[in-house]
Amino acid sequence: MKGVCGLSSAAYVQELGKRASVVKNTLAGLNSASKNQALLAIAEELTANSAMLLAANQEDVAAGQEQGLSAHFLERLTLNEQRIENMVISLRELVNLPDPIGNVEKMWRRPNGLEIGQMRVPLGVVAMIYESRPNVTVDAAALCLKTGNAVILRGGAEALRTNQILVELIRAGLTRAGVPADAVQLVSTPKREAVLSLMRMNDYVDVLIPRGGAGLIKTVVENATVPVIETGVGNCHIFVDASAEIEMARRIVFNAKTQRPSVCNAVETLLVHQEVAPEFLPLCGAELKTAGVEIRGCEVTRKYLPWAKAATAEDWVTEYLDLILAVKVVSDTEEALAHIRRYGTRHSEGIVTSDYQQARDFLQSVDAAAVYVNASTRFTDGFEFGFGAELGISTQKLHARGPMGLEALTTLKYIIFGNGQLRT
């Protein structure tokens, strides 16, 4: 099967890997001023060419509608002027953040006089496989550039036109700033063989980051031979404790479900302590119903919300990414914690409580990348955490966890200063 320029898909992706390897040492040696200049040039390209970008995106959205893509999927795919402006803001935010490359984390002196330290360095060549959201293209390119990494991007076929224009504009900005354009490359064939080749390109790719639904992540984890940083599915919970301030809990749950339901940090399951259920559920449920949220509740929940659908076992494990919320009334905090341990995906979990000890116990007991007390789970985001942007939310524990900003795209090397020491 042939890919771009008459090459097979495997050969085409190998060529991208070779080109990334050629420039990665140059990128690692760029100073902060050069990288920041390139980020600003990319921002200017996006602003100047927003009409062209929107036109390409409209073609992708129209094609997605014809293919019958779901409403939440199309929402993630769609660009508008504000979302392009948010990309530009994110790029400028990154310019103002400290460059981690070259930072010496710590130094210590050994009895023999050796001085040993740890220095932040790039990972090398980063590959990214992701779905639908065009902003990921810009975020990934920008974060990798700021940290001196080359990046090979493979977005979903549904966003191919949009991503082609985005990468074209990014590479134009790099060239204007005197940075090798091959710092950012796009796998522009939708062929599955190209994705499989990228996952197994150990000679050229240092780390692979999948970002998308459970199916994509499972495929990458099961098939990749290059190291993978796994970003996770967001089956997120909020527990309304017996001591919760009802009005605060109502606002938090409504925001976490409806502010943008198609993203991984939106709440999918609401757990309510039985003591506050009679007061809280009718109040919260009525507001959610007005907003178009479908409630799928346990038997007790449906006593207070008789219009709710009956929850099935499948509902407790589902990441809806839609205006659907599973609701369960629990007898105590331990039952809530047990439910989260069984069904949570270690992404984002929250408690609404006025009890200090309950808050501490929840923070210590819940195993997740982000654990909230009295706040919406929607804040699990690199920009909201002050990282400027993110590559995804890592739910694993090795190398990176939570929103992956600049530091997550670096590693450490030891630097050793001596004056002739020999080991005996």
Backbone region of residue 136 per phi and psi (left: phi > 0; alpha: psi in -120 to 50; beta: other values): alpha
Strands 236-240, 104-109: parallel, antiparallel or unpaired by DSSP? unpaired
Q: What is the pTM of this model?
A: 0.88
Q: Is residue 319 part of a domain?
A: yes
Domain tally for the chain?
Answer: 2
**Are 224 and 248 within one domain?**
no
pLDDT confidence of residue 73: 86
Of all residues in the chain, the percent with pLDDT exceeding 70 is 99
Nearest one of 148, 49, 128 to 139, comparing CA atoms: 128
CA distance 148 to 204: 16
Backbone region of residue 33 per phi and psi (left: phi > 0; alpha: psi in -120 to 50; beta: other values): alpha
Nearest one of 280, 298, 333, 241 to 341, comparing CA atoms: 333
**Are 10 and 85 within one domain?**
yes
**Are 108 and 11 within one domain?**
yes
Residue 229's alpha-carbon distances to 22, 139, 146, 330, 378, in angstroms, are 23, 16, 19, 34, 22
- Both tokens assigned to 216: 């994509």
pLDDT confidence of residue 215: 87
Q: Is residue 392 part of a domain?
A: no
- Both tokens assigned to 391: 């590559």
pLDDT confidence of residue 4: 54
**Are 289 and 316 within one domain?**
yes
Q: Is residue 386 part of a domain?
A: no
**Are 175 and 279 within one domain?**
no
Backbone angles phi, psi at 218, to 5 degrees: -60, -45
CATH of the domain at 67: 3.40.605.10
Q: Which domain holds residue 355?
A: 236-374
**Are 218 and 264 within one domain?**
no
**Are 80 and 171 within one domain?**
yes
pLDDT confidence of residue 70: 87
What DSSP letter does each residue of 169-196 carry, written as one string? HHHHHHHHTT--GGGEEE-----HHHHH
Strands 236-240, 309-310: parallel, antiparallel or unpaired by DSSP? unpaired
**Are 250 and 345 within one domain?**
yes
CATH of the domain at 304: 3.40.309.10
Q: Which helix (H) or strand (E) holds 400?
A: none
**Are 188 and 306 within one domain?**
no
Low-confidence ranges of the chain (pLDDT < 70): 1-6
**Are 301 and 412 within one domain?**
no
**Are 33 and 154 within one domain?**
yes
Helix (H, G, I), strand (E, B) or coil at 173: helix
Q: Where are the beta strands (DSSP E) in 333-409?
A: 348-352, 370-373, 393-394, 402-403
pLDDT confidence of residue 3: 46
Q: Is residue 380 part of a domain?
A: no
The strand pairing partners of 415, in sequence order, are: 117
Q: Is residue 382 part of a domain?
A: no
**Are 13 and 139 within one domain?**
yes
pLDDT digits (tens, 9 = 90+) for 372-423: 999 999 999 988 998 888 888 999 888 899 999 999 999 999 999 999 999 9
